[in-house]
């Protein structure tokens, strides 16, 4: 009897931990692209939610058209959103570097435009693809194996982003341009090109996140709204440090919101996440990494 | 020069007042008057953001929160206590309380630009989500259910104080327009007071203002609260106009619109945001009628174009053109 109780408790603990890890992973995934664009370019992309939405739609459209699911998810969607990112950077953002408020306004306009365009093209009914891999049974609980895939993928994406930024020439040039554009420029770096490539990378990672979460969340033209508050608050609270800041903030907020959601209702989970952030920013106005890990990545 | 400007403001407002209050109600159909009432309420909201953003440097994406809170408070109090006048005061009081609370976190945390924008946006999203999810009848305040995404219907109109007689459409129009004009005059005056000038100096250079001994946080908080009071009042008037309030007032689309009004009309003026609100409201109504293009799409394009091409806004642009024209005129005189 006691053994049974222990078993049940272990099951509950395992499933709760899995849920929390999944919460952290999805938060980390949807925030990374935004963090790169904000951290490297100091551009707040308010159309971020719509980039995620378009990533999701690209994935679903490609899959329905018969493209292999993994190619659509890992290559197709990131490429499409990345290219969109380049267009946006060249047409709109390029004129606004260094003017944070104007950038916010212009990208917000872009967000409304993309939302309107998507509802014209796709209509308002929800589209989805059922998650692959089936489910995993833990005692009396069930969890999609796909959640575990999301967790592993998030870890892999963070690790590779870190490695690229830290150890490759591309990463070195990107970091140098971010630290001192004039100096980098006078050493022969094509600044404009670096900006465009960085924006492409941020957008592509956002497209990837949108595609990865599409089988679980489904996609509608207004999907972006569901993500935008969470990802913004994660990046802002993390501070300007791309990997460490966003990672730490994801762990913190993912845990808080999933626990609240499990104990009460999902909508409270979200609300608590946002409230935690408001209080946190009162004491760490430059974000977590504004005070700690200032020289990290 | 400043005295002259002040006279121009007063006289201009008086003329506008005579036309809008003395002539328009007799000249147009009640249906149009109702539309104009809505525009006036939106113009009040626009001026509240025009004030805190243009003169206090506080870019709040959550001005709609105070508007929505004002509307909801009016609805809940008016329905519970059957006293519209009390409800109007309550709407303002609740909005101000909310602003003081939120303002403490923002200004004492010394959040600026991006952080402020994101926090205020976040607050409005919290309201949007929470109120949307409160559709079950267990969520009620007094006798009034919150109603989730359906909102609160059947909001009573304002009454003539001391009697039971509800205001007619024309009377409501006159009231809302008068409030709009008074808000315009009041804010123009506030900007010219010592308080207003210190507020502007903080916007221009916060460090310098603080070194001169002014506590920037207090001034910003006060401006934020004034803005919230005006926005809350606009929300209550909006609830009176429409008889219905729903969570859409907390939605991202609406907060975006307010920013566009101010941006397009002209940041750093009061008349610009008000005009921007009226023009864009008319555009939205028209887009809804013709149904050619998604209203969001059109607004989005307008937004981007406004930022890229008319970053200063319409009114400052016009003022600039006028100044050049008059300057030339003056110079050409012998």
The size of the A-B interface in CB pairs under 8 A is 123
**Model-level pTM?**
0.82
Two structure tokens written together for A177? 């341009």
| 3 state SS for A73-139 | HHHHHHHHHHHHHHHHHHHCHHHHCCCHHHHHHHHHHHHHHHHHHHHHHHCCCCECCCCCCCEEEEC
Q: Which of B188, B199, B192, B203 is nearest to B222 (CA)?
A: B199
Is residue B330 within 8 A of residue B322, CB to CB? The reply is no
Round to whole Å and give the CA distance between B161 and B174.
Answer: 15
How many of the other CB atoms lie within 10 Å of CB of A81? 31
Task: Identify the pLDDT of residue A289.
Answer: 66
Chain A residues in contact with B253 (beta carbon < 8 A) = 112
How many of the other CB atoms lie within 10 Å of CB of B154? 10
Contacts of residue B205, defined as CB under 8 A and 6 or more positions apart, other chains included, come to none
Task: Identify the pLDDT of residue B97.
Answer: 95
Q: With bands split at pLDDT 50, 70 and 90, how would you rate the model's confidence at A210?
A: very high
**Residue of chain A nearest B258, judged by CA positions:** A105
Comparing CB atoms, the residue among B111, B113, B121 nearest residue A281 is B111
Round to whole Å and give the CA distance between B145 and B76.
Answer: 9
Average pLDDT score, chain A? 83
Round to whole Å and give the CA distance between B13 and B177.
Answer: 11
Proportion of chain A above pLDDT 90, given as a percent: 19
CA-based nearest distance B29→chain A, Å: 34
Two structure tokens written together for A81? 């959103």
Q: What is the mean pLDDT of each run of 10 residues along chain B (334 residues)?
A: 66 77 74 87 95 91 92 90 86 94 85 77 84 79 78 81 77 90 93 92 89 92 95 93 88 83 87 90 79 75 81 78 69 50
Q: Which residues of A touch B (CB under 8 A)?
A: 44, 92, 95-96, 100-102, 104-106, 108-117, 119-120, 225, 228-229, 232-233, 236, 265, 267, 270-271, 274-275, 277-279, 281-283, 285
Chain B residues in contact with A285 (beta carbon < 8 A) = 109-111, 115
Is residue B180 within a helix (H) or strand (E), and if so which, with residue range?
helix B169-192
Q: With bands split at pLDDT 50, 70 and 90, how would you rate the model's confidence at A266?
A: confident
The whole-number average pLDDT for the span A6-28 is 84
Across the interface, do A229 and B117 touch by the CB < 8 Å criterion?
Answer: no
Is residue A1 predicted with pLDDT exceeding 70? no
Proportion of chain A above pLDDT 70, given as a percent: 93
Task: Identify the pLDDT of residue B334.
Answer: 44
Backbone angles phi, psi at B20, to 5 degrees: -70, -40
CA-based nearest distance A245→chain B, Å: 15
Query: Which residue bears the tokens 């989805």?
Result: A128
Is residue B293 within 8 A of residue B287, CB to CB? The reply is yes
Two structure tokens written together for B273? 């945001």
Radius of gyration of the CA atoms of chain A, in A: 20
Of residues A277 and B91, the one with the higher pLDDT is B91
Q: With bands split at pLDDT 50, 70 and 90, how would you rate the model's confidence at A157?
A: very high
CA-based nearest distance B117→chain A, Å: 9
**Residue of chain B nearest A282, judged by CA positions:** B109
Is residue B235 within 8 A of residue B93, CB to CB? The reply is no
Contacts of residue A250, defined as CB under 8 A and 6 or more positions apart, other chains included, come to A24, A25, A27, A28, A31, A234, A238
Task: Identify the pLDDT of residue B69.
Answer: 94
């Amino acid at each position: 009897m006691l053994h049974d109780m222990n078993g049940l408790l272990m099951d509950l603990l395992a499933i709760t931990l899995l849920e929390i890890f999944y919460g952290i992973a999805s938060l980390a995934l949807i925030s990374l692209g935004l963090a790169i664009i904000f951290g490297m370019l100091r551009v707040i992309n308010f159309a971020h939610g719509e980039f995620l939405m378009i990533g999701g739609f690209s994935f679903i459209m490609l899959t329905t058209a018969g493209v292999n699911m993994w190619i659509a998810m890992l290559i197709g969607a990131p490429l499409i959103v990345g290219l969109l990112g380049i267009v946006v950077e060249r047409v709109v953002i390029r004129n606004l570097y260094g003017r944070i408020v104007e950038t916010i306004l212009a990208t917000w306009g872009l967000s409304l435009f993309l939302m309107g365009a998507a509802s014209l093209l796709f209509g308002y009914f929800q589209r989805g693809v059922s998650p692959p891999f089936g489910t995993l049974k833990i005692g009396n609980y069930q969890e999609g194996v796909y959640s575990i895939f999301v967790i592993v993928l998030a870890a892999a994406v963070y690790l590779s982003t870190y490695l690229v930024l830290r150890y490759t020439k591309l990463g070195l040039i990107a970091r140098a341009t971010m630290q001192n554009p004039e100096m980098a420029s006078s050493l022969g770096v094509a600044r404009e090109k670096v900006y465009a490539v960085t924006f492409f990378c941020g957008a592509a990672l956002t497209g990837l996140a949108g595609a990865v979460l599409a089988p679980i969340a489904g996609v509608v033209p207004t999907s972006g709204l569901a993500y935008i508050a969470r990802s913004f608050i994660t990046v802002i609270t993390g501070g300007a440090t791309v990997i460490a800041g966003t990672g730490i903030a994801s762990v913190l907020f993912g845990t808080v919101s999933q626990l609240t959601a499990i104990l009460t209702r999902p909508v409270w989970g979200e609300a608590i996440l946002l409230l935690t952030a408001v209080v946190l920013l009162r004491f760490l106005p430059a974000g977590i990494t504004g005070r700690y890990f200032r020289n990290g990545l | 020069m400043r005295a002259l400007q002040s006279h121009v403001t007063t006289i201009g407002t008086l003329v506008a007042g005579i036309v809008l209050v003395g002539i328009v109600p007799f000249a147009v159909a009640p249906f149009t008057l109702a539309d104009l009432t809505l525009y006036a309420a939106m113009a009040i909201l626009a001026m509240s953001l025009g004030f805190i953003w243009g003169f206090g440097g506080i870019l709040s994406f959550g001005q709609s929160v105070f508007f929505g809170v004002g509307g909801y408070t009016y609805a809940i109090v008016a329905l519970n206590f059957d006293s519209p006048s009390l409800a109007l005061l309550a709407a303002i009081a609740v909005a101000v309380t909310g602003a003081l609370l939120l303002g403490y976190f923002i200004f004492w945390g010394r959040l600026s630009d991006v952080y402020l924008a994101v926090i205020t946006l976040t607050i409005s999203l919290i309201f949007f989500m929470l109120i949307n999810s409160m559709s079950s009848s267990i969520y009620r305040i007094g006798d009034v259910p919150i109603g989730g995404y359906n909102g609160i219907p059947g909001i009573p109109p304002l009454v003539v104080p001391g009697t039971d007689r509800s205001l007619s459409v024309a009377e409501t129009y006159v009231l809302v327009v008068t409030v709009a004009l008074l808000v315009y005059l009041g804010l123009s005056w506030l900007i010219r007071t010592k308080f207003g000038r210190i507020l502007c100096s903080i916007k221009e250079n916060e460090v310098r203002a603080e070194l001169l001994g002014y506590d920037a946080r207090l001034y910003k908080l006060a401006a934020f609260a004034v803005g919230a009071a005006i926005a809350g009042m606009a929300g209550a008037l909006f609830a009176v106009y429409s008889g219905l309030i729903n969570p859409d007032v907390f939605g991202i689309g609406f907060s975006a619109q307010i920013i566009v009004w101010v941006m397009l009309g002209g940041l750093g003026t009061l008349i610009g945001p008000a005009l921007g609100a009226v023009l864009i409201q008319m555009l939205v109504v028209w887009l809804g009628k013709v149904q050619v293009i998604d209203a969001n799409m059109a607004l989005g394009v307008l937004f981007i174009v406004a930022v890229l091409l008319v970053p200063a806004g319409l009114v400052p642009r016009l003022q600039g053109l006028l100044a050049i024209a008059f300057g030339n005129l003056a110079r050409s005189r012998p």
